[in-house]
Amino acid sequence: ASEEQLLDFHSPYGCSKGCGDQYVRDYARIYDLPTVVFRQSCIYGKRQFGVEDQGWVAWFIIAVLSGKPISIYGDGKQVRDILFVDDLCDAYDAAFQRLPQVKGQVFNIGGGRSNTISIWVEFKPILEKLFGSEIKTSYGDWRPGDQPVFISDIRKAHKMLEWSPKTGVEEGISKLFYWVRDNLTLFKSL
């Protein structure tokens, strides 16, 4: 959905993100502050200390390399778009460079249609190839508010910010996998 779709929250987490979104928009409108709202979707990358409920791409990699159990909620076919952190930084730079023209705007910032993956059915084979062996998984019930499919519509950011993601799904996952592997001691306490 585009940035024009009305917000409809399905969890306290979503509600808190929407509240921040509205504050930033109102400060731009009321006080003429040069703010921009980024509605970010599934950001991942090096130096991310993902945990089971947030940062799922990093969490799966950390869990596999640390020997922790992986639980999948639902059927693992849920689809998300993912965005590598370097591409997110490029989006921030693009907005800052165009701030006078884009202040007060809202942008969906995610991987978009070209960077989608099912959270386990498609992710697991990529991770098993990198890890070099089969990954055991347990399954649980769907979590409340979990959407079967979420893909960011990033056309407005492409048009107004002249931005689009450069890092593909497998490339980004590989970069994060090798960073976690090379820095595994940082994750011993998780």
Cβ burial, residue 20 (10 Å; 0-12/13-18/19+):
exposed
Give the residue ranges of DSSP H helices in the chain. Answer: 12-31, 56-66, 85-97, 99-102, 123-131, 155-161, 169-182
What string of DSSP letters covers 120-157? TTTHHHHHHHHHTS----EEEPPPTT--SEE----HHH
Annotated active-site residue in 13, 23, 139, 178: 13
44 noted as active-site residue: no
User: Which of the residues are catalytic?
Assistant: 13
